[in-house]
């Protein structure tokens, strides 16, 4: 005769079907492909993640372009509030993310918890930049003549983001938040082998008042997704954080075709305070002149 | 700058200027002494090219040979980069205040020699003396003066408390503002402690070589500035040189993309200031007389050979006729001819090659069905000339609406609503400049916000200042020159 305890331990858990995040919706890959994602330490099967295709990448660019006008036109205060909301939503699910990060990266529960907490704090840090960066990097220029002259930073546009391969959540947030806080929209290619925290982050983004299309998340082979993104004529910039040196060089060459702004891969310490480099890499300076006269 | 350059009173078109013809008012050439030949400036001295090759530089207004200049090849580039590398340690270690004093010296010597340099630039480039004298040269001196003051204040530039220079900067500049583009490149590079190898344009090498002499007069340590004259192959060798840390290029978008591909996969930092197809938007409530002056300055300043030229006029349909009538009346008063004449408004096209490109695109405009108009004007028999030209009936699909002509050719399109104006203005892969003409302040601010361009001139056009960052969106390049922003391109990012 079975006890209630035994009955509950026999309960089969409900597994999550991990999906892409494009235009505010959660589609499977149009290709119908998936690939096995395993625990970094035990090698145990974790999930079948979508193996996104070139077509998925192009669809994501369309969604990101569509979202750009509204997101870049939102007030800085509003964007800051939404980024802060992302931190709030993530905080509520920190146990889940810690578990996913531990499995994705093969690190201890404690370390994964620290990574998750740092990722939450990073959203808060960048949220605060939304209505400050303009004053820090822009300003009035004292031209030698009767003119009002003002330089203002503006978002570059659609940014392709190759997320870091090893730091599945903190690294991802560290490259994504600086792109979108200023009004850019993003197409993210997740870590190839550790995509699950990124795909779960999409669920957080979807419930944080972030307009659909501002962030689009694709899991799959980095090179397969990166090549069409680097060559895409309607992508304005690319962050190569997740590309190996050889691939990064190839992608930078392809990006020259429409003069994308390129952020090369570096040896970033994701735990350190980020500085303004990643944020200003995807800003344009606009200078407006007007005569002064009665 | 341009408005001042173009503020003659418009005369009535019905009164031919013959009645009160201008007497010739030539600026004297005696102020400049051009040597029959020049070498490369490497490691503080002029030397012949390793292979002994030379090329001629012409006065585009007369096709007269001005001088013979050494042609630098890959070996010469290598020697220059080695000289710059050799000078880098001491130059970058110099206290900022000392570097500043060198730059202040240079600024002052440029002011002292500005008439000489203006005449030289007009001879070698073909642009009117009034522009070199009143625009190019004052801006060149001001640029050095501005960045001189930064050299000992870099810790306050927003690039971290101890910003470091990059090393050797490879700089390739165009022929449309030869000395001004040199100043935009060299001044911030030196202020931040970098050393320089500069490749001037093939058709306008002389003012850079005179600048080398100014460096000598200023006592600049040898190797800090090196000038390698040559053509596109020389520039390509320079940007591809493995010991260069920074590449800065101003020129065409085609070459800019080539350079971006060359630099891909290296550690070299890159800034590009490339082409444009600027929209000059005129609303019905604009101060139309001022707008017409701005349209003229926007496209005929420097013969339209300006990357930020207002080469597309977007005029609101309701005032199209009025604006075009006034524009044509104004253009009939422009004086085209001898660039050294102080009354000349429009000078020579810089080269036969550029003239051929302008001619080809203008012919394409006609072939595609746009209506071509030029004021009656007599062009000199020798040299490279193109009459100021206006195309009406231009559609967005026409080549003359899409491609950078880089000449005195204006394409006129119309719009009805502000939204349509913005959509048409932004309908280009370029994003360098735009103009807005309206008396409505809120409309200016809305459009300035919506236009995807690095510089927006409202109720003015073609204004420049060393404190004002300049550079493009999209395929007009990346990075900014001028102002605090201009330092970022030459400093290690913290």
Q: What pLDDT sits at residue B493?
A: 74
- Suggest the residue from A250, A288, A291 to mutate for an interface test with chain B (most B CBs closer than 10 A): A288
Residues of B in contact with A286 (CB under 8 A): 448, 453-456, 473
SS3 state at B27: coil
Q: Are B115 and B59 in contact (CB under 8 A)?
A: no
Three-state SS string across chain A, please? Answer: CCCHHHHHHCCCCCCCCCCCEECCECCCCCCCCEEEEECCCCCCEEEEEECCCHHHHHHHHHHHHHHHHHHHHCCHHHHHHHHHHHHHHHHCCHHHHHHHHHHHHCCCHHHHHHHHHHHHHHHHHHHHHCCCHHHHHCEECCCCCCEEEEEEEEECCEEEEECCCCCCCHHHHHHHHHHHCCCCEEEEECCCCCCHHHHHHHHHHHCCCCCCCCEEEECCCHHHHHHHHHHCCCCCEEECCCCCHHHHHHHHHHHHHHCCEEECCCCCCCCCCCCCHHHHCCEEEEEEEEECCC
Side by side, which strands form the sheet with B477-478? B45-47, B40-42, B225-227, B195-199, B168-172, B246-250, B269-273, B477-478
Q: Within 13 Å and on the Cβ side, how many CA atoms surround B250?
A: 26
Q: Are B82 and B244 in contact (CB under 8 A)?
A: no
Rg of chain B over Cα atoms, rounded to whole angstroms, equals: 22
Kindly report each contact of residues B443-446 with a partner whose C-beta sits within 8 Å and lies 24 or more positions away, as own/partner: B443/B283, B443/B418, B444/A290, B446/B418
Q: What pLDDT sits at residue A240?
A: 98
Tell me if residue B377 is catalytic: no
Q: Are B23 and B31 in contact (CB under 8 A)?
A: no
Side by side, which strands form the sheet with B54-59? B37-38, B64-70, B54-59
Question: Exposure string (b/e) for B156-183, b if CB count within 10 Å is 16 or more?
Answer: ebbbbeebbbbbbbbbbbbbbbbbbbbb
- Write the residue in A255, A262, A287 that is nearest to B468 by C-beta: A287
Distance CA(B400)–CA(B423), nearest Å, equals: 18
Distance CA(B480)–CA(B451), nearest Å, equals: 18
SS3 state at B168: strand
Distance CA(A198)–CA(B4), nearest Å, equals: 58
Burial of B280 (0-12, 13-18, 19+ CB in 10 A): buried
Strand partners for B146: none
Q: What pLDDT sits at residue B494?
A: 57
Regions of chain B short of the pLDDT cut 70: 1-19, 494
Q: pLDDT, tens digit, for every residue of A187-246?
A: 999 999 999 999 999 999 999 999 999 999 999 999 999 999 999 999 999 999 999 999
- Suggest the residue from B278, B478, B492 to mutate for an interface test with chain A (most A CBs closer than 10 A): B478
Q: Which residues 6+ apart lie within 8 Å of B135 measured at CB?
A: B1, B2, B5
- Write the residue in A141, A275, A287 that is nearest to B454 by C-beta: A287
Distance CA(B182)–CA(B176), nearest Å, equals: 11
Distance CA(B71)–CA(A60), nearest Å, equals: 50
The CATH architecture assigned to A18-291 reads 3-Layer(aba) Sandwich (3.40)
- Write the residue in A141, A145, A288 that is nearest to B456 by C-beta: A288
Distance CA(A233)–CA(B429), nearest Å, equals: 10
Burial of B449 (0-12, 13-18, 19+ CB in 10 A): middle
Choosing from B159, B215, B307, B308, the catalytic residue is B307
Distance CA(B490)–CA(B269), nearest Å, equals: 9
User: What do you get for the CA distance between the two ends of chain A, in Å?
Assistant: 95
Residues of A in contact with B444 (CB under 8 A): 290
Structure-derived torsion over alpha carbons of residues A165, A169, A175, A177, reported in degrees to the nearest 10: 160
Q: Are B215 and B184 in contact (CB under 8 A)?
A: no
User: What do you get for the CA distance between the two ends of chain B, in Å?
Assistant: 37
Q: What pLDDT sits at residue B12?
A: 46
- Residue A43 Cα, gap to closest chain B Cα (Å): 34
Residues of B in contact with A287 (CB under 8 A): 454-456, 468-470
Q: Which parts of B99-140 are beta strand (E)? A: none
Distance CA(B151)–CA(B143), nearest Å, equals: 13
Q: What pLDDT sits at residue B2?
A: 43
- Suggest the residue from A178, A244, A247, A256 to mutate for an interface test with chain B (most B CBs closer than 10 A): A256
Report in angstroms the alpha-carbon separations of A292 from A289, B145, B458, B460: 10, 24, 11, 11
Residues of B in contact with A258 (CB under 8 A): 429, 474-475
* pLDDT in 10s for each residue of chain A, 294 residues: 444 454 556 899 999 999 999 999 999 999 999 999 999 999 999 999 999 999 999 999 999 999 999 999 999 999 999 999 999 999 999 999 999 999 999 999 999 999 999 999 999 999 999 999 999 999 999 999 999 999 999 999 999 999 999 999 999 999 999 999 999 999 999 999 999 999 999 999 999 999 999 999 999 999 999 999 999 999 999 999 999 999 999 999 999 999 999 999 999 999 999 999 999 999 999 999 999 997
Q: What is the pTM of this model?
A: 0.95
Q: Are B193 and B184 in contact (CB under 8 A)?
A: no
Cβ B460–A289 below 8 Å, yes or no? yes
* Continuous segment of H or E residues that includes residue B250: strand B246-250
Structure-derived torsion over alpha carbons of residues B420, B422, B428, B429, reported in degrees to the nearest 10: -140
Report in angstroms the alpha-carbon separations of B140 from A149, A236, B410: 20, 33, 28
SS3 state at B197: strand
Cβ A249–B494 below 8 Å, yes or no? no
Residue in B268, B101, B185, B193 with CA at minimum distance from that of residue B491: B193
Cβ B265–A253 below 8 Å, yes or no? yes
ipTM for the predicted complex comes to 0.94
Residue in B264, B63, B248 with CA at minimum distance from that of residue B174: B248
* Continuous segment of H or E residues that includes residue B357: helix B352-367
Report in angstroms the alpha-carbon separations of A1 from A7, A12, A33: 10, 19, 44
Q: β-strand A139-140 against A147-155: which pairing, if any?
A: antiparallel
Distance CA(B145)–CA(B103), nearest Å, equals: 7
Tell me if residue B215 is catalytic: no
Distance CA(A198)–CA(A187), nearest Å, equals: 12
Q: β-strand B269-273 against B477-478: which pairing, if any?
A: antiparallel
* Continuous segment of H or E residues that includes residue B102: helix B96-112
Q: Are B210 and B451 in contact (CB under 8 A)?
A: no
Q: Which residues 6+ apart lie within 8 Å of B463 measured at CB?
A: A143, A145, A147, A289, B1, B2, B457
Distance CA(B77)–CA(A276), nearest Å, equals: 36
B257–chain A Cβ distance below 8 A for any pair:
yes
Cβ B465–A151 below 8 Å, yes or no? no
Structure-derived torsion over alpha carbons of residues B199, B202, B206, B212, reported in degrees to the nearest 10: 10
Report in angstroms the alpha-carbon separations of B29 from A19, B210, B283, B339: 74, 15, 44, 12
Domains of chain B from N-terminus onward:
37-274+473-488 (3.40.605.10), 276-458 (3.40.309.10)
Window 439-478 of B, Cβ < 8 Å to A: 444, 448, 453-460, 463, 465, 467-471, 473-475, 477-478
Q: pLDDT, tens digit, for every residue of B28-62?
A: 999 999 999 999 999 999 999 999 999 999 999 99
Q: What pLDDT sits at residue A4?
A: 46
Q: What pLDDT sits at residue B10?
A: 45
Q: Are A251 and A230 in contact (CB under 8 A)?
A: yes
Window 303-362 of B, Cβ < 8 Å to A: none
Choosing from B273, B404, B481, B488, the catalytic residue is B273
Distance CA(B236)–CA(B246), nearest Å, equals: 14
Domain boundaries, chain A: 18-291
Quote the Cα angle for A27-A31-A35, to 5°. 85
């Amino acid at each position: 005769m079975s006890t209630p305890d035994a009955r509950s331990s026999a309960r089969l858990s409900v597994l999550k079907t991990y999906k892409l995040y494009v235009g505010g919706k959660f589609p499977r890959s149009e290709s119908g492909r998936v690939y096995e994602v395993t625990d970094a330490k035990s090698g145990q099967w974790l999930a079948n993640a979508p193996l996104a295709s070139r077509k998925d990448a192009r669809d994501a660019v369309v969604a990101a372009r569509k979202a750009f006008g509204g997101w870049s036109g939102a007030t800085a205060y509003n964007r800051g509030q939404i980024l802060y909301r992302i931190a709030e939503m993530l905080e509520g699910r920190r146990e889940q993310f810690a578990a996913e990060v531990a499995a994705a990266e093969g690190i201890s529960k404690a370390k994964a918890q620290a990574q998750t907490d740092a990722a939450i704090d990073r959203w808060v840090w960048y949220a605060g930049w939304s209505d400050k960066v303009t004053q820090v990097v822009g300003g009035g220029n004292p031209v030698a003549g009767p003119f009002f002259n003002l330089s203002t930073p503006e978002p570059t546009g659609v940014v392709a983001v190759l997320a870091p391969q090893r730091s599945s959540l903190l690294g991802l947030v560290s490259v994504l938040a600086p792109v979108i806080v200023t009004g850019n929209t993003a197409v993210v290619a997740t870590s190839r082998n550790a995509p699950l925290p990124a795909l779960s982050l999409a669920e957080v983004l979807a419930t944080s008042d972030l307009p659909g299309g501002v962030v689009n998340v694709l899991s799959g082979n980095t090179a397969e997704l990166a090549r069409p993104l680097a060559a895409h004529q309607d992508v304005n910039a690319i962050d190569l954080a997740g590309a190996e040196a050889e691939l990064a060089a190839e992608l930078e060459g392809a990006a020259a075709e429409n003069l994308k702004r390129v952020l090369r891969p570096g040896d970033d310490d994701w735990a350190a305070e980020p500085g303004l480099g990643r944020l200003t890499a995807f800003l344009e300076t606009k200078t407006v002149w007007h005569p002064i006269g009665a | 700058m341009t408005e001042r350059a173009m503020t003659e009173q418009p005369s009535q078109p019905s009164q031919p200027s013959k009645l009160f013809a201008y007497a010739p008012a030539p600026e004297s050439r005696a102020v400049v002494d051009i040597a029959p030949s020049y070498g490369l400036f490497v490691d503080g001295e002029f030397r012949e090219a390793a292979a002994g090759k030379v090329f001629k530089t012409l006065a585009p207004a007369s096709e007269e040979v001005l001088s013979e200049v050494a042609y630098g090849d890959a070996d010469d580039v290598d020697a220059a980069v080695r000289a710059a590398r050799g000078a880098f340690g001491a130059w970058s270690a110099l206290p900022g205040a000392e570097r500043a004093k060198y730059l202040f010296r240079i600024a002052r010597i440029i002011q002292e020699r500005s008439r000489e340099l203006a005449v030289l630039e007009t001879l070698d480039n073909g642009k009117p003396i009034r522009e070199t004298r009143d625009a190019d040269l004052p801006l060149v001196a001001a640029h050095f003066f501005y960045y001189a003051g930064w050299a000992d204040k870099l810790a306050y530039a927003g690039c971290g408390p101890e910003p470091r220079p990059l090393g050797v900067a490879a700089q390739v500049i165009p022929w449309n503002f030869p000395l001004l583009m040199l100043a935009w490149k060299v001044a911030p590079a030196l202020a931040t402690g970098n050393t320089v190898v500069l490749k001037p344009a093939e058709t306008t090498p002389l003012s850079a070589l005179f600048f080398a002499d100014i460096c000598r007069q200023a006592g600049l340590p040898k190797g800090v500035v090196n000038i390698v004259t040559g053509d596109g192959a020389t520039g390509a060798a320079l940007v591809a040189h493995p010991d260069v840390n920074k590449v800065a290029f101003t020129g065409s978008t085609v070459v800019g993309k080539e350079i971006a591909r060359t630099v891909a996969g290296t550690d070299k930092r890159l800034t590009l200031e490339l082409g444009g197809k600027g929209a000059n938007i005129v609303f019905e409530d604009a101060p139309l007389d001022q707008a017409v002056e701005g349209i003229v300055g926007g496209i005929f300043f420097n013969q339209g050979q300006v990357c930020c030229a207002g080469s597309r006029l977007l005029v609101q349909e309701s005032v199209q006729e009025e604006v075009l009538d006034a524009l044509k009346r104004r253009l009939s008063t422009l004086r085209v001819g001898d660039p050294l004449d102080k009354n000349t408004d429009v000078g020579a096209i810089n080269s036969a090659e550029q003239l051929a490109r302008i001619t080809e695109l203008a012919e394409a405009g006609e072939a595609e069905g746009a209506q071509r108009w030029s004021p009656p004007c007599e062009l000199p028999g020798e040299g490279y000339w193109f009459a100021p030209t206006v195309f009406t009936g231009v559609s967005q699909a026409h080549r003359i609406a899409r491609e950078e002509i880089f000449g005195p050719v204006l394409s006129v399109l119309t719009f009805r609503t502000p939204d349509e104006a913005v959509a048409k203005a932004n309908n280009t892969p370029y994003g360098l400049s735009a103009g807005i003409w309206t008396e409505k302040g809120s409309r200016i601010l809305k459009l300035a916000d919506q236009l995807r361009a690095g510089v927006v001139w409202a109720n003015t056009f073609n204004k420049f200042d060393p404190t004002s960052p300049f550079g493009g969106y999209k395929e007009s390049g990346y990075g900014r020159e001028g102002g605090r922003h201009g330092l970022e391109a030459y400093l290690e990012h913290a």
